[in-house]
């Protein structure tokens, strides 16, 4: 009974605010319930544009951080095991430093940099936010991939692949990556969720991404339902990523078993 009581209270703690948000998002201007707030999201060109920009940033960031972390982690595990503690310290720094401090540093860099650097780095949200979000996602992706590599016999797999004539790119893509596929997907999905929810750095640098657009909508008195509907859509998208990760992990586990 004690466990049931705790689980029931935890369930109510999460579901009651979520149910209230869904109910409020369905409340129209006339006082009735409907999907007008959700249709307004689809019909808003500004929201769709910022959503596409944020998805583009999130996708490029997820791919870039995996391309950086996976070969580096494999190298550390195989050739430089004593550097593992150094990697742990380096990759934990983005969590230690608050995002507002990074935003202040980037703003100062933007104000004091030469014009060519401003055009090269700060002229578009892709060129500025992708490297920044890559740094912010390092703790998530590194620990996910590192745990995946620890769960396999990396030395044996790599030695077998190399003895059969595989080069290092082929070994990473055809031998290592399939065995840590779940860990890589988990790190990528966490990176996408982080990029779609980060608002401090983007707002400080005056980039209108999807989270910033949601924040702007909450400040408008005539669109409270639309902002809540956007929050519900973001939650559904994040839950969809997590559920798809679970599905892919189970499918990969069944394939490995066969």
Percent of the chain's residues with pLDDT above 90: 12
pLDDT digits (tens, 9 = 90+) for 208-224: 888 888 777 766 656 66
pLDDT digits (tens, 9 = 90+) for 147-174: 888 888 888 888 888 888 888 888 888 8
Write down the pLDDT at residue 65.
93
Write down the pLDDT at residue 6.
92
The values of phi and psi at residue 219, to 5°, are -85, -10
Indicate if the alpha-carbon torsion angle 234, 178, 246, 133 is positive or negative: negative
37-46, 52-61, 62-71, 242-251: least confident range: 242-251
Q: 């960031």: which residue's tokens? A: 61
Percent of the chain's residues with pLDDT above 70: 92
pLDDT digits (tens, 9 = 90+) for 188-214: 888 888 888 888 888 888 888 888 887
Q: 């095991």: which residue's tokens? A: 81
Q: Is 245 within 8 Å of 182 (Cβ atoms)?
A: yes
Q: 């997907």: which residue's tokens? A: 185
Q: 């195989």: which residue's tokens? A: 78
pLDDT at 37 over 50: yes
Task: Mark 122-161 as b/e (b = at least 16 C-beta within 10 Å).
Answer: beebeebbbebbbebbbbbbbbbbbebbeeeebeeebeeb
Average pLDDT in the chain: 83
Report residue 252's pLDDT band, with 50, 70 and 90 as the boundaries.
low
Write down the pLDDT at residue 83.
86
Write down the pLDDT at residue 245.
67
Report residue 257's pLDDT band, with 50, 70 and 90 as the boundaries.
very low
pTM above 0.95, yes or no: no
* CATH superfamily name and code, 35-257: MetI-like (1.10.3720.10)
Question: Hey, where are the domains in the chain?
Answer: 35-257
Write down the pLDDT at residue 209.
87
Alpha-carbon span 242 to 84, nearest angstrom: 28
Report residue 67's pLDDT band, with 50, 70 and 90 as the boundaries.
very high
pLDDT at 5 over 80: yes
């Amino acid at each position: 009974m004690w466990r049931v009581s705790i689980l029931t209270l935890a369930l109510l703690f999460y579901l009651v605010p979520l149910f209230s948000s869904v109910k409020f998002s369905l409340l129209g201007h006339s006082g009735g319930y409907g999907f007008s707030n959700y249709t307004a999201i689809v019909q808003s060109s500004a929201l769709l544009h910022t959503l596409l920009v944020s998805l583009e940033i999130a996708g490029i960031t997820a791919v870039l951080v995996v391309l950086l972390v996976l070969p580096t982690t494999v190298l550390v595990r195989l050739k430089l095991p004593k550097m593992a503690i150094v990697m742990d310290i380096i990759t934990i720094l983005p969590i230690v430093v608050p995002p507002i401090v990074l935003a202040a540093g980037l703003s100062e860099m933007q104000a004091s940099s030469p014009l060519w650097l401003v055009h090269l780095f700060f002229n578009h949200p892709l060129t500025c936010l992708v490297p920044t979000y890559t740094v912010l996602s390092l703790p998530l992706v590194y620990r996910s991939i590192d745990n995946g590599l620890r769960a396999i016999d990396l030395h044996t797999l790599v030695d077998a692949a190399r003895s059969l004539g595989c080069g290092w790119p082929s070994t990473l893509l055809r031998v290592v990556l399939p065995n840590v596929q779940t860990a890589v997907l988990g790190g990528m999905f966490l990176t996408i969720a982080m990029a779609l929810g980060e608002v401090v750095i983007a707002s400080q640098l005056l980039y209108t991404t999807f989270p910033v657009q949601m924040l702007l909508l909450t400040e408008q008195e005539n669109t409270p339902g639309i902002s809540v509907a956007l929050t519900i859509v973001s939650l559904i998208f994040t839950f969809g990523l997590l559920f798809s990760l679970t599905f892919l992990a189970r499918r990969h586990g069944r394939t490995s078993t066969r």
